[in-house]
Chains A and B, each alone.
Chain A
C-alpha cells in the first residue's frame, strides 16, 4: 500500500467572519502529482500555508510524512520544497547565488550544495544565465529560477503554488514537463492551479476546491464520471425551429439543449454515436449547418455542474477567473 505523505483532517481556518477553510480533509499518497484545483479565493494557498505551518489554523490536524506538522517541525520542513506563486528571489543576487542561497538553507555541505545547485540549474535550463541578475531575466526564466530555488535541495515533497501564472505557453510547457520529470525522479508533487488544462495534463489525482471546501476528489476520469454530462455537441445553425429542437431533445441520451439563434448546444449523458443521431435530424429536415463539433467534458464542466458556476470566465481573458 502506498504511504500517505500528507494527511489533512477537518482543517478550519477563519479570517474574522470569513471561513477560508471549512473542515477541509485531504490525503496525498507518495509518488502522486496531486492537483488542487479551484478558483481564486477558494482556499488553495491557505491550505498550503497551513500545511507548511506558516499559517496558524483554528481547528484540524495536519500530518506530513506521518508526523504532526507544527511551526517547529524543522526536520519535516527540510524535506519539503516550496515554489510560491510570486517569484521570491533576491534581486541583488545572481541566478547562481539565489539558488545557492536557498539550497544552503537546507544543505550546509559546500561540495554537496554546489552539486545540487548545478543539477537544479541543468534541470531548469538556466545554465546560460548563471551570472544574470533576476531583473535581467524574462518572466519565464524568472519562474524557472523560482522553481530551481525550490527544488535544488532535492526535496521528497514539492509544493507548487500556481507556478505558471503569467508565463508564456512555451515556458509553461517546459515547467509542466519539469514537474513530471521531478515526479518520475521520486518526488511527490502538490500542484495548485486554476488552469484546469494543466491540472488535467499532469495530475494523477485532483481535488476541486470552492469556498474553502473540497467539492470533489479523484482521478480526472473519476471526476468526470461524477457528472451527468459525457458529451457536448455544438452545431452552428440559423433559424432553427422549436419542432426540430424538440425532436433533438427526444433523441436517446440527450438531456438538455440550448439555442441562441446561431448555435445549438446539445448535452448528452452516456451513449455512443450521439453526434451522428443529431446530424441525422438536420439531414432529415434538409437544414444546412455550419461548423459542428463534439467535446468531452472538462474539469470546468465538473466544476460547473457541481457548483453551478464556471471555474474560468469564458467571456474574458482565458486566464481570468469568474
Chain B
C-alpha cells in the first residue's frame, strides 16, 4: 500500500531532516512511527501525505507516485496533522461537506458516513457551530471524522490521540483496526508508546532523520517493552 524508497528531505539552508528512509507498509497493516522530538516523523508523514515537497527518493501509495501523480495518490489517502488547523470561518458540517466535495463523495453516502462518525464521536449537535468556537479536542474529532468519511486506503496520522478524551481514543483505535481489516493501511506517529505497542502490527523507529529499527512489533520489542527499547536507543545515542 505504502512504499517509501530512499526518501531524503533537506531544507533550504542545508539541514537534512530525513536521510535515506525506506519502508514498506502492505495493505492490512497498522504501523506505528515513533521517535524523539525533531527526529523527522512529521517531515516523513507530511511527505507521504503530499503536503511537503521533496526531491530525493520516491513515495508510492497504492501504486501511485506521490510526486508524479499526486492527485491519484491523495485520492486514496487521508492525512491528519498533529495540530488540526481547520477553516475557522466554516461550521463543522460545512467543513465536512467541503472535504466530501473534494473527494467526490455522493450525497447519500456522505449523509450516512457523517451521521455514523459524528454520532460515534458525539459531535453531531456541534456541527452547526463555527469551527472557531470548538475546543482543541472537538477540532481533533472533526478532523478525524473528515478523514474517516473518505474511506481511505491509507490513513496517515500525526499524533492522533493528543487532545482526545478516553472514549474518543478508544473509538479511534477501533476504527483504525477496522480500516486495516477492510484492506487499508494506517501509518501513524505517537509518543504514547503503550498504545503503539498494543495496537500496531509493525513499529518503525526514527532517530536523527534515519530509520534505525523497523519490523513486526514482537521483534522490535523483544522481551522488554517498547519504552525500554526506545530509551535504550536514546541512551546509546547520548553516549556516542
Co-complex (A, B)? no
A interface residues, Cβ below 8 angstroms from B: none
B interface residues, Cβ below 8 angstroms from A: none
